[in-house]
Structure 1
Amino acid sequence: MIFRKGELFCGPGGFSLGAKLARVIDKQGNEYKIEHEWANDIDDYAVQTYRENICPSRPESVIHGNVRDIDIESFAPIDAFSFGFPCNDFSLVGEHRGFDGEYGGLYTFGVKVLQHHQPKFFVAENVGGLQSANGGLAFAKILADLKGAGYKLTPHLYKFHEYGVPQKRKRIIIVGIRNDFGLEFKVPAPTHDGINTPFVSSYEALNSPPIPEDAFNNERTKHAAKVVEMLKHIPPGKNAWCEEIPETLRLNVKGARLSQIYKRLDPHQPAYTVTGSGGGGTHIYHWLEPRALTNRERARLQTFPDWYNFQGSKEQVRKQIGMAVPTLGAKIIFESILKTFAGIDYDFIDSKWQEALDQKQKLVNLSLESQLELEI
């Protein structure tokens, strides 16, 4: 069985590469897999990266443009859908910027895809902080809209280092299966516990095998001499505020001191979260060499293969890598979805959220009713 997949906010293709790599064969020998059908993103360089690596023979299937300006209903039919919706401005209370702001209401375009195309399943992704936004009301509202499109939902906060990703990255993933299938997705059980199965370390990620010098996106950052000297005094796992740094080399910063500023990796542990933006001190730093990681090294931490060629300038590539879904994490989730459809058992854990979300939904309903009374 082939599931044709569409995607909004596709970025450079972390979700889609994981989907393409997922393969399941049932007891009768039938193969279940996912193939790219169409995608969209507003970032021109991310679109170029996606075309280059995911669908080089069909570049026209990746539409560059603002999701507000595209005709969703004109897209080809799909069986699967994924979207990493931005949620910066979403708010259910106060000024309601979530619906009218630049980013907050963008999840509704994913809902429109579900309503019109009715794919068999979808996967949505967002930052872990979404669950607590507006006291959890924003998350409950989003889930209510997704559920209302006709889907059985399984939301979960995934800690990707527990699934073999060499990076401590937490993301909310919502899997929805269309109601008429009568299936329920189960959260795949973690594969690494840090004890019986050690987490994959940053050392292993960057050195097994070593990255070729001529690999794509492997340019090094040019640092000021003072930065290089300061890094030499920072032990692995520590940052710019450690006492080992001589007074003359310390940063002159007042106020909050962010823990990831000039933080060097601990080679024995997964990396801290790879980000896509930020100035000096936010690029993730090697545990041995006094330098920032290259984009290819950051891509390794996001489990992109070395052949994956990101398009654009060094900073544009950094942005794409930092915003992506780790390929390995996506693959594990998509494989579990395929097993659900194929009727194949797999190890899973129970989601702890449903009861709490039901309570939040009651608060959302009460809030909306109060708003309606005020408007009347």
Structure 2
Amino acid sequence: MSVSYKGTISKTHSVFKPEKGRYYIYGALGCPFTHRAILARSLKKLEPVLGLVLSHWQLDSKGARFLPAPHRPEKYKEIFFTATGGIASAKLDESEELGDVNNDSARLFVDGAFDPVENISRLSELYYLNDPKYPGTKFTVPVLWDSKTRKIVNNESGDIIRILNSGVFDEFIQSEETNVIDLVPHDLIDEIDKNIKWVHPKINLGVYKVGLAENGKIYETEVKTLFENLQKMECVLKENYKRLEEQFSGNKQKILAKYFVLGQRLTEADIRLYPSIIRFDVVYVQHFKCNLKTIRDGFPYLHLWLINLYWNYAEFRFTTDFNHIKLFYIRMEVSRNKINQFGIVPLGPKPDISRL
């Protein structure tokens, strides 16, 4: 059982007030829900304001863990205020050969980071710092952590997106960065919420319903539901593309500049969908048996949307780490027990992401 924390940050909040360097996101780079929060942080230009602490890629029976702190950890303070908290492999466009990487590998800023805030070794310790009587048995990411009060503000990725988008940290952003994207524009909020209501259960969680199905009948039902909803998104994006094609007389550059899920603007809808789709061919097709089609070969408009975001937006490209994505799923304890006994990481597909 996991426990949700639903706090927010605002100038009028009695406890959680905006402050530069006070709050940190704890998460796992392979996790799609952490990825949402990291994307929002980058798109809102909040890297210098909000720290990022990323765990080791393996979730074992005790949950997420962090690496031991190095000698003179204060030397690394600034690295936690970068796009991926110092994890270097996020800058690679291809996953590496990972067969000789052991689960106990502890390469600093390769396999994960140490915790510069509370010096914890397990994410569970953060939950118990927040509440020594924590009633849950699961310790989920992402976590938005207040280093001043040593409390969890929020551990729901969707809420964290909205907190970061609220403008509460704008005063700490350099003046040239203040005109940043609005991920939840007022005129689209109803459409965004409507989109979330089917994308989250049917696609974001749908892949897990397929991959963790415990009998063939459930698997077949869930995999068909998943692909029906991928096709639904394909139709949405096809309609958007055709409309843009007519508007811009086929000018590909202008089309791609406006090619998003909703309203010709990059919004929370794109942030919520991207982490699932970027992981689809790389992990979900083979590991979760979501193999009726691949994104690259079976959904041309969804695929174009994906590679457009990856190659044309640094915030998407440089928060996507194919090494961590593969290792996170393949070496997870539940995967070893139920899906891939020997934890063998597939080499393919190649490429991990197609060129635009």
Q: TM-score, normalised by structure 1?
A: 0.29
Greater gyration radius: 1
Q: TM-score, normalised by structure 2?
A: 0.30
Choose between structure 1 and 2: higher strand proportion. Answer: 1
Choose between structure 1 and 2: higher helix proportion. Answer: 2
